[in-house]
Amino acid sequence: MYQSILRKNRAFRFYLLSKSFTSLGNMMINMAFLFFAFSLTGSSSYTTAMVAAQVLPYLLFGLIGGVLADWIPIKKWLIRMEIIKIPIIMVVIVLFYTQQLQYWQLIFLCLSIHTIGCLYDPASRALLMKVTV
C-alpha cells in the first residue's frame, strides 16, 4: 500500500522529504536550546525551564494554529513560517558565536520559534491530507 503511494504520488514524496528535513532540523534546534541553556547556566532547573518554554506555546496557541490552518492557503503559509524562523535561528547562532547569548534571550528566541511551530504544525498536517488524496 505505502509503496504504491510513494511510486505514484510525486507530491507525497516531496511532502515526506520536506517533512523529514523539517523534523530533523526542529529536533536539532530543540536539543541545541537545551545544551545552550545548560552551558550558559550550569543549572538543571534553568534547563528544565527551557523545556517548559518549548512546551508553553503549544499549550497557549496550539488551537489557534489549527484554526488558522483551516482559513489560509497552506503552502504559502508553510513557506512564510519557515522564512520567519530563519532569522530567529540566525540570531541564536550569531549571539552564541560572539559569546553574547544570555539566558533570557535564549528563552525569548525559544518561545518565538515554538510559537511559529504552533502555526506551522497544524498547517503541515492539513497539507498531508491534501497531498495524499
Q: Which residue in 91, 17, 131, 107 sits closest to 55, CA to CA?
A: 107
C-alpha dihedral sign at 77, 61, 27, 45: positive
Q: For residue 90, what is the DSSP state?
A: H
| C-alpha–C-alpha distance, residues 84 and 96, integer Å | 20
**Could you tell me if 126 and 69 are in contact, meaning their C-beta atoms sit under 8 angstroms apart?**
yes
Instruction: Tell whether the model's pLDDT for residue 11 goes beyond 80.
Output: no
**What residue type is assigned to position 75 of the chain?**
K
pLDDT tens for each residue of 15-32: 888 888 888 988 999 999
> Could you give the maximum distance between any two Cα atoms of the chain, in Å?
52
Counting beta carbons within 10 angstroms of the beta carbon of residue 70, is it exposed (0 to 12), middle (13 to 18) or buried (19 or more)?
A: exposed
pLDDT tens for each residue of 117-131: 888 888 888 887 777
User: Which element (helix H / strand E) includes 56?
Assistant: helix 44-71
pLDDT tens for each residue of 38-94: 999 999 999 999 999 999 998 998 888 888 878 888 888 888 888 999 999 999 999
| C-alpha–C-alpha distance, residues 11 and 30, integer Å | 28
| C-alpha–C-alpha distance, residues 48 and 126, integer Å | 31
